[in-house]
């Protein structure tokens, strides 16, 4: 069974007793899709239908209808299990980029330090062993002798340990502050690299939900100028004059165009005029126009972003230095490893740089579309002919709340019992 997640969420939020109009107004999904989805959901979960004397159909579903579906459909159980597994895997993938960055920096700079120390101690050892003649610089291996009694080495190690502890203590407040952020550092690295997804992924859902609520609040009628601030691509010339942009709205909400005596178009939506709600049309706040959210480069804090970029640059610089040090080594393994590190380091710089300009471009487009929709609001407020259309639309305005007294049939009881109750 292919259930619509938006439809099921709407049923839960509306109290498990809904009409098609309520669901469409709440979610903005297609009216026919809501009707067929509710019918299938009631059938598969043991729900009930109630019919009013005016022909309105009410769908009554059990509060545990999701559990009924999960128990009944192995496919849904498997999908729910996969969703949980994928959530864990995706989080591990996100933090792996930060772990890989720290590992790369650690390996690169540790290799640079090792080579540098080897060169320094190798040079000193060669001078001290000059009398041997046949040492050949092998004394460089003495730097790896941790059990020796050299006071210099012991002092160096002690100093390094003390310095490490001091640095650890110095940075502990920074770690404490980082833990209070919405993203930890490992998540911030992924966010700086790849962003946090499209902020307007729910744009179409919000668009149709706003339109449905607007129509519902106006008792099932609307004019094109009221809907235009929520739409894009209104067209020009003939298409704009004859309001062809309203065709998708009429199709989705089963609307009927009506023509006034002066040739003005208004739109009537009978299915959105009946509701079970005590406060019709108050499901969600309806703004004056549809506004897209601005694109952000990253949800990481400015401090996290700066540190991520610094580490990207430090990693690339370190790879360059290490490549220079190992340039004289003729080894396919070393050469391949350095090529891989170089590509990784360059990628850490190129990916966020390109994405930065792409985000700026997307943000400019969002501002243009938001400005265009806001202009439609201004036209609605300034046009003197609008009032004539609104007055004519009021002739079709109607809204009523369905009560239990309006129900003449329900699938919760057999027909004979209901007939006896009506006779009583």
CATH class of the domain comprising 5-74+404-423 = mainly alpha
Of these ranges, 24-33, 105-114, 178-187, 400-409, the one predicted with the greatest mean pLDDT is 105-114
Q: Are 69 and 76 in contact (CB under 8 A)?
A: yes
Q: How confident is residue 52, by pLDDT bands cut at 50, 70 and 90?
A: confident
Q: How far is CA 103 from CA 89, 112, 281, 311, in A?
A: 20, 14, 56, 11
DSSP letter for 395, please: G
The string of pLDDT tens digits covering residues 212-241 is 999 988 888 999 999 999 999 888 887 788
The DSSP-derived string for 24-90 is HHHH---HHHHHHHHHHHHHHHT-EEEEETTS-EEEE--TTHHHHHHHH-HHHHHHHHHHHHHHHHH
Query: pTM (2 decimals)?
Result: 0.69
What's the average model confidence in pLDDT over 365-387? 86
Better-predicted residue by pLDDT, 90 or 154: 90
What mean pLDDT comes out for the span 277-298? 78
Domain assignments of the chain as residue spans, ordered by start? 5-74+404-423, 77-144+181-197+296-366, 203-294+385-401
Q: Over the stretch 319-353, which tens digit does the pLDDT of each residue have?
A: 999 999 888 777 888 888 899 999 999 999 999 99
Q: Cβ atoms within 10 A of the Cβ of 356, count?
A: 14
Parallel, antiparallel, or unpaired for β 57-60 and 407-410? unpaired
Query: How many CB atoms within 10 Å of residue 189?
Result: 29
- Which residue's structure tokens are 């989080």? 91
């Amino acid at each position: 069974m292919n259930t619509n997640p938006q439809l099921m969420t709407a049923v839960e939020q509306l109290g498990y007793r809904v009409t098609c109009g309520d669901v469409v107004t709440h979610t903005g999904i297609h009216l026919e899709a809501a009707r067929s989805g509710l019918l299938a959901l009631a059938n598969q979960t043991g729900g009930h239908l109630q019919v009013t004397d005016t022909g309105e159909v009410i769908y009554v579903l059990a509060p545990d209808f999701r559990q009924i579906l999960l128990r009944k459909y192995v496919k849904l159980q498997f999908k729910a299990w996969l969703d949980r597994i994928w959530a864990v895997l995706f989080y591990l993938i996100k933090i792996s980029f930060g772990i890989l960055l720290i590992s790369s920096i650690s390996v690169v700079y540790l290799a640079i330090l090792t080579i540098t120390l080897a060169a320094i101690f190798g040079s000193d050892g060669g001078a001290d062993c000059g009398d041997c003649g046949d040492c050949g610089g092998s004394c460089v291996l003495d730097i790896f002798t941790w059990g020796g009694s050299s006071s210099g080495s012991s002092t160096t190690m002690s100093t390094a340990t003390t310095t490490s502890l001091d640095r650890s203590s110095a940075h502990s407040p920074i770690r404490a502050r980082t833990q209070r952020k919405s993203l930890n550092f490992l998540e911030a690295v992924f966010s700086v690299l790849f962003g946090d997804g499209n902020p307007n992924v729910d744009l179409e859902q919000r668009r149709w939900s706003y339109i449905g609520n607007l129509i519902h609040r106006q008792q099932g009628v609307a004019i094109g100028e009221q809907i235009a601030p929520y739409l894009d691509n209104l067209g020009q010339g003939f298409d704009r004059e004859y309001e062809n942009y309203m065709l998708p709205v009429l199709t989705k909400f089963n609307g009927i165009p009506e023509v006034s005596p002066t040739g003005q178009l208004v739109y009537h939506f009978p299915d959105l005029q009946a509701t079970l709600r005590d406060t019709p049309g108050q499901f969600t706040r309806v703004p004056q126009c549809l506004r897209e959210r601005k694109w952000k480069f990253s949800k990481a804090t400015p401090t996290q972003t700066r540190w991520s970029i610094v580490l990207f640059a430090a990693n690339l610089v370190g790879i360059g230095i290490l490549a220079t040090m190992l340039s004289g080594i003729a080894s396919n393994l070393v050469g391949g490893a350095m090529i891989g590190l170089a590509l990784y380091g360059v990628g850490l710089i190129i990916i966020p740089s390109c994405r930065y300009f792409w985000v700026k471009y997307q943000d400019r487009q969002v501002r243009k579309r938001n400005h265009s929709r806001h202009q439609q609001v201004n036209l609605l407020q300034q046009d003197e002919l609008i009032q004539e259309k609104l007055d004519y639309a009021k002739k079709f305005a109607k809204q009523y709340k369905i009560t239990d007294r309006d129900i003449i049939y329900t699938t919760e009881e057999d027909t004979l019992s209901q007939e006896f109750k009506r006779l009583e």
